[in-house]
Amino acid sequence: MGQTASGSARSRTIRQQRIADYVIGKGSASAAELAELTGVSVMTVHRDVDELARRGLLRKFRGGVSALPSTVFESNAEYRLNAHVEAKAAIARQALTHVEPGMSILLDDSSSALELAKLLPAATPLTVATNYPRTIEALKNVDDLRLICIGGDYSPTHDSYLGMPCLEAVERLTVDATFVSTSAMNAEMTFHQEPDIVMVKRAMLASAGKRVLLMDSSKMPRTALHRLAPVTDYHQLVIDSGAPEKLVEELRNRTAVDVVKL
């Protein structure tokens, strides 16, 4: 019974993620269109859409559903945690090869960095600093790991600490490497749609000797409202196999960044 319920919940999560990705990609969709996409009844689609709307990921209207502005859904912590999970796990495994025992590292509040955090017990002893409660939770009981919890103004949307206290705490650190992700990039620039996030990520980049960018292919090539940092500010870019080959070639030809495509 428990396994059946668990399997049902998992299939529902996968289906709802597929619906969210489809609507975000198209801008809007009808219930009938989503039923055909997922192979379930229109009634089930309506229940899924109601749940996605309640979580703040989509907006329901008469006859269909639309995507919320990117400033909402791309920053929503729940959306990010369930999006492109396999790609992020593969990126994290590659990123781990750049972590050596004895290092001090800084992890941002991205779900990609969280995937890396889950692998860090294999690379201890380490010092790890982060502003992300989920990463703190993943690492708090790891032996031979010094954990620095960066506080600040708590943001429920991002489920992380931001604001001036966070910024000042990051600026006081000097670490061997930082691993960050962001919501969009092209061959020249990385972007994010929210200025508070931009400021903290910039401080993290400035605090590190080595700067590693973790990006799943859904984020490229894209732009967002605020420029975060030029691609040339990063030492290494780790991307999954779905990244457009044209963009990868452009990055390799135009920058000195070490581009690792899985």
Q: What is the pLDDT of residues 84-137, one digit of tens each?
A: 688 899 999 999 999 999 999 999 999 999 999 999 999 999 999 999 999 999
Please name the residue ranges forming H helices in the chain. 2-26, 31-38, 42-54, 70-73, 77-82, 85-96, 111-117, 133-139, 163-171, 195-206, 245-254
Confidence of residue 5 (pLDDT cuts 50, 70, 90): low
The full set of domain ranges for the chain reads 2-68, 79-261
List the CATH code of the domain at 2-68. 1.10.10.10
> Percentage of residues in the chain with pLDDT exceeding 90?
64
CATH number for the segment(s) 79-261: 3.40.50.1360
Q: What integer pLDDT is reported at residue 75 of this predicted model?
A: 53
Task: Please tell me the predicted confidence (pLDDT) of residue 56.
Answer: 66
Cβ neighbours of residue 36 under 8 Å, at least 6 residues apart?
Answer: none
Rounded distance, CA 171 to CA 56, Å? 33
Mean pLDDT for all residues in the chain: 88
With 50 as the cut, is the pLDDT of residue 71 above it?
no
Which H or E element spans position 229?
A: strand 226-230
What region does 199 belong to: left with phi over 0, alpha with psi -120 to 50, or beta? alpha
CB 162 within 8 A of CB 151: no
Calpha distance 139→69 (Å, rounded) = 33
Q: What is the four-CA torsion angle of 37, 78, 260, 116, rounded to 10 degrees?
A: -140
What is the distance between the alpha carbons of residues 240 and 235, in angstroms, rounded to a whole number?
A: 17
Average pLDDT over residues 207-221: 93
**Length of the chain in residues, anyone?**
262
* Per-residue pLDDT reduced to its tens digit, 145-173: 999 999 999 988 788 999 999 999 999 99
pLDDT at 69 (0 to 100): 52
Q: Would you tell me how many other CB atoms lie within 10 Å of the CB of residue 4?
A: 8
What is the end-to-end Cα distance of the chain in Å, rounded? 39
Tokens matching residue 45: 């689609």
Distance (Å, whole) CA 224 – CA 244: 18
CA dist 135 and 118 (Å) reads 8
- Are 240 and 199 a contacting pair, CB within 8 Å? no
Cβ atoms of residues 209 and 177 within 8 Å: yes
Model pLDDT, residue 259: 94
**Which residues are 239's β-sheet partners?**
215, 261
Q: Which helix (H) or strand (E) holds 238?
A: strand 236-239
